[in-house]
Amino acid sequence: MRICLKGGRMVDPSQDLEGRCDLLIEGGRVAAVEPQISPGNARIIDLTGKTVLPGFIDLHVHLREPGFEDKETIASGTAAAAAGGITSLAAMPNTEPAADSAAVVELVRRKAAAAGHCRVYPVGALTRGRRGREPAAFNELYEAGVRAFSDDGSPVADSRLFLQIMRALARFPGAVIISHSEDLLLAAGGLLHEGAVSKRLGLPGIPAAAETAAVARDIILAQAAGVPLHLAHLSTAGSVELLAWAKERGLPVTAEVTPHHLLLTADEISRSGAVAKVNPPLRTADDCRALLEALRTGLIDIIATDHAPHTPAEKAAGLKEAPCGIAGLETAAPMLFTELVGKGKLSLSDLVRAYSCRPAELLGLEGGSLRRGAPADIVVIDLEAEGVVDPKSFYSRAGQSPFAGSPYRGRPVMTIVGGKIKMERGVVHEQKG
Ligand code: DOR
C-alpha cells in the first residue's frame, strides 16, 4: 500500500530537515521526501497544520509480561506506546521469569508481534534471574539478537561481579550495558528525595549521593572494562557532572533522563503521594535545571520514560508500602511539548533528536529518521491540540499519573509503524488477522 503524507511540517534532525514537505510511503519504507509529491494512486493523508516527526523511540519501558500481567501486558503496554507516538521501545527484563534466556526474549518478541502496535527490543538481564550473583547467559542472549543488557530496577551491587560482567560484554560488538546506578545501602529505607520535603514530612529520604556515588563507580568500572555504558534515569546534578567528566575523556558513556525527572520535584509527593513515588526519586528544582541544561546541550543523549506501571490498588497502599514507578508512555509527548517546547526551554528539533534519532543510534536500531529508505516509523503531532491528562483514558493498565489533571497543548494524533497506521486521533487500532 502506498500512502502520501501531504502538507505537514517535517522536523527531522537526522537530515537537517525542518519545513513543509510531502512524504511517500511504499513497502513500509520512506520512498520519497520532497516539497511536492504527485501521489499517483497512493492514499493521500492531508496533514496541513500538523507536524511530522520520526517516531519516538523509548529505550526504557517496563512491559511487565511475563509475570506481572495485572500491572501491564505486552499488548496493553505497546498500545500505550502507540498512543504516545512511540514506534519502537526497549523492554526491560525485570519480569518473572526475568529476560535472562533466549526463551523469554522470544516470548516477549512473539507477544509483541501478535499485538502489532510497535517494535519491541527486549533488554537482556545482566545477572541470572537478576539476582546479582552470577552473569546471565550472554552468548545465548546475544545470539538471540539482544544488544542491551541491564538489571534495571536493581544495580549490580557487587563491584567485582559488575567488572567481570563488563569485561565479558566488552567482547560482544554492539553490546551496551544499561546501568541502574544506585547505592542500595545509601538508599535503604528511603521513600523520597532526602531534603527539605522529606524533612518537612518527617519521612526517611534517599540522598542524592545514593545515585551520584553509584554513577561514579559505574563509569570507573566501564572505563576499566572498555565497554559502552548507558546510564539510566539520571536524576541528580552531580550525576550530570560525572557524565561530563566521562565524555570529556572520550569514554563511551551515554545517558538518559525521564520526563518526570525533568518536570517534577520532590514537592510532587505532597500533592500526589505514592503516585509520585519513583526510583530514583524526584529531586530538587536545581537538579531539574541541571538535567534540562544537559539535555539541551546533548550531554544527556536521550529521553526515555522509564514507564513503570503498577496497579491502582498497589499505589493506593500508602507511601511506605506502594511500589516505585510512574507510567510515562502516554504523558511524555504532551507534557514535553507543553512544558519544554511550548515554553521555549527546548527546541522541537532537540526533542526529536533526544526521543527519536539518538535512541536509534545508541542501540543501532533502524528508525529515528525519515530519510529515503528508512522504515516508515512516523509520528504526526498536532501542536495546537489542547486537553487535560486523564489516566482513565490510558491504554496502560496503570490508571494513575502524577501528571493527572495537567493541561497540555500538543499531542500525537497519528502513529505509523512500518507504513501501517497504528493510532489515529488517540485511538489505537487492533491488529487485524
Ligand atoms: O521507579 C522505578 N520503577 N524504578 C525502577 O528502576 C524500576 C521500576 C519498576 O520496575 O517498577
User: How far out from the chain centre does Cα 174 lie?
Assistant: 19
- CA–CA separation, 47 and 370 (whole Å): 16
HSE-up of residue 304 (Cα within 13 Å, Cβ side): 29
Question: Which atom belonging to ligand 1 lies closest to the Cα atom of 324?
Answer: 1
Full 3-state SS string of 356-409: HHHHHHHHCCCCCCCCCCCECCEEEEEEEEEEECCHHHCCCCCCCCCCCCCEEE
Ligand 1 atom having least distance to the Cα of 182: 6
Q: Are 360 and 30 in contact (CB under 8 A)?
A: no
Provide the edge-to-edge strand list for the sheet that holds 86-91: 56-61, 86-91, 119-122
Domain co-membership, 48 together with 69: no
Per-residue pLDDT of the chain in tens (433 residues, 90 and over written 9): 899 999 999 999 999 999 999 999 999 999 999 999 998 999 999 999 999 999 999 999 999 999 999 999 999 999 999 999 999 999 999 999 999 999 999 999 999 999 999 999 999 999 999 999 999 999 999 999 999 999 999 999 999 999 999 999 999 999 999 999 999 999 999 999 999 999 999 999 999 999 999 999 999 999 999 999 999 999 999 999 999 999 999 999 999 999 999 999 999 999 999 999 999 999 999 999 999 999 999 999 999 999 999 999 999 999 999 999 999 999 999 999 999 999 999 999 999 999 999 999 999 999 999 999 999 999 999 999 999 999 999 999 999 999 999 999 999 999 999 999 999 999 999 875 4
Distance from the alpha carbon of residue 277 to the mean position of ligand 1, in angstroms: 10
CB distance 262 to 288 below 8 Å: yes
Most ligand 1 atoms within 8 A of CB, residue of 324, 329, 400 to mutate: 324
Residue 431 pLDDT = 73
Q: Does residue 324 share a domain with residue 181? A: yes
Q: Is residue 368 part of a domain?
A: no
Residues 112 and 193 in one domain: yes
Do 135 and 240 belong together in one domain? yes
In terms of domains, do 121 and 246 share one? yes
**Residue 317 is assigned to a structural domain of this protein:** yes
Residue after which a domain boundary falls, among 309, 328, 363 = 363
Q: Strand, helix or coil at 223?
A: helix
**Count of helix runs (H) and strand runs (E) in the chain:** 15, 19
Cα separation, 297 vs 280, in Å, equals 23
**Domain limit, last residue, from 309, 341, 363:** 363
- Ligand 1 lined by 324 (C-beta under 6 Å): yes
308 lines ligand 1 (CB under 6 A): yes
Query: Of 339, 363, 387, which marks where a domain is finished?
Result: 363
CATH number for position 161: 3.20.20.140
Contact by Cβ (8 Å): 142, 106: no
Backbone angles phi, psi at 331, to 5 degrees: -110, -15
Question: Which residue owns the Cα nearest ligand 1 atom 3?
Answer: 325
For residues 241, 178, 394, 399, the Cα torsion angle rounded to the nearest 10 degrees is -80
- Ligand 1 geometric centre to CA of 187 (Å): 14
Q: What is the separation of C-alpha 77 from the centre of its chain, rounded to a whole number of angstroms?
A: 12
Listing from the earlier edge strand, what are the strands of the sheet with 302-303? Answer: 148-149, 176-179, 229-231, 253-257, 302-303
In a domain, 369, yes or no: no
Chain center to CA of 55: 13
pLDDT for the residue 432? 59
- Sign for the pseudo-dihedral over CA of 334, 324, 302, 63: negative
| Ligand 1 close to Cβ of residue 412 (< 6 A) | no
Interior CA angle at 155 toward 65 and 56, to 5°?
Answer: 55
CA 246: distance to chain centroid?
22
Best CA proximity match to 329, nearest among 25, 87, 32, 44: 87
Longest CA pairwise span in the chain (Å): 68
Any ligand 1 atom below 6 A from CB of 325 = yes
- Output the CA 304–ligand 1 centroid distance in Å: 13
**Is there a single domain that holds both residue 41 and residue 65?**
no
Alpha carbon distance 132, 154 (integer Å): 8
If one residue of 92, 306, 307 were mutated to test the ligand 1 pocket, choosing by the most ligand atoms within 8 A of its CB, it would be: 306
DSSP assignment of 74-135 equals HHHHHHHHHHTTEEEEEEPS-SSS-S-SHHHHHHHHHHHHHH-SSEEEEPBPSBGGG-SSSB
CATH code (residue 34): 2.30.40.10
Task: Quote the distance between the C-alpha of residue 433 and its chain's center.
Answer: 29
- Contact, 193 vs 284, CB < 8 A? yes
pTM of the model: 0.98
Beta strands in 200-296 (DSSP E): 205-206, 229-231, 253-257
Please tell me the predicted confidence (pLDDT) of residue 433.
Answer: 45
**Cβ of 94 less than 6 Å from ligand 1:** yes
Residue to mutate (ligand 1; options 62, 154, 311, 315; most atoms within 8 A of CB): 62
The catalytic site residues sit at: 306
C-alpha span between 108 and 131 (Å, rounded):
20
343 occurs within a structural domain: yes
**Ligand 1 centre and the CA of 412: distance in Å?**
25
DSSP string covering 314-343? HHTT-TTTSPP-B--TTTHHHHHIIIIITT
Nearest residue (CA) to ligand 1, atom 9: 308
The reply to whether 433 falls in a domain is: no
For residues 110 and 161, state if they share a domain.
Answer: yes
**Rg (Cα) of the chain, in Å, rounded?**
21
Tell me the C-alpha distance between 255 and 252, whole Å.
10
Name the residue type at position 30. V
> Are residues 160 and 19 part of one domain?
no
Same domain, 45 and 64: no
Looking at the 3D structure of the chain, how many domains does it have? 2
Residue 144 belongs to what domain range? 55-363
Asked if residue 355 and residue 244 are part of one domain, the reply reads: yes
The answer to whether residue 238 is domain-embedded is yes
Residues 130 and 177 reside in one and the same domain: yes
- How many residues appear in the chain? 433
Residue (of 265, 266, 269, 218) closest to 246 by Cα position: 218
Let me know whether 181 and 252 are in one domain. yes
